[in-house]
Amino acid sequence: MKSYTDIEQSKTLTKILPFKSADMYYREWKRDTKDMRIAHVGTADKLDLPCWSLAALLGVLPSRLFDATPKRKELYLLPDSDKSYCFYRQFAVKTKGEIYLLTEGECLVDACVAMIEKLHELNLL
C-alpha cells in the first residue's frame, strides 16, 4: 500500500499546494530522478522535492465544501481491493445524499491527489 505521493504526483502538487503543507520530501541532491527514490520525513529544503503523506493530503482536503447552494458536501474515503475512491457527497434537507465529486485511484493516496487536482481546477481548494 502506497503511503505517500510519488515523484510525479509531488511535482504536480508543488504547483497547487503550499510548500509547508508537505510533511515529507525527496532529497534532490542530484537532478536525475533515478537518485530520488526514497522519501524522507520532515521539511524540505529549497533543493528538495516536497512530498505528501496520506495524512498530509487529508489535512489539505476540506472536510466539507460549501457553494452558493444550501447543500453541504462532505468528504468520504472508500478503500477497496481493486480501486480506492475519494468523493464528496452532497446532502440536502430531504435527501439521503448523492455523489457530488468523485475521484478514484489504485490507492487512497492516488484518489486524494486526483481530488486535489479536481478541486484546484474547479477553484474549490
| Residues 53 and 65 both lie in one domain | no
Q: What is the reported pLDDT for 35?
A: 55
- Whole-structure pTM value: 0.85
Lowest mean pLDDT of 12-16, 32-36, 37-41, 92-96, name the range: 32-36
Considering the domain boundaries, does residue 106 fall inside one?
Answer: yes
Cβ atoms 51, 58 nearer than 8 A: no
- How far is CA 69 from its chain centroid? 25
d(CA 13, CA 6): 10
Same-domain status, 35 and 77: no
Which residue segment(s) compose the domain that 33 sits in? 7-58
Same domain as 72, residue 38: no
Query: How far from chain centre, in Å, is Cα 97?
Result: 23
Q: Domain tally for the chain?
A: 2
Distance CA 116, CA 62 (A): 10
Task: Give pLDDT tens digits for 25-77.
Answer: 887 655 555 555 667 777 777 778 899 999 999 999 999 887 666 677 889 99
52 and 67 together in one domain = no
Instruction: Report if residue 2 sits inside a domain.
Output: no
- C-alpha gyration radius of the chain: 16
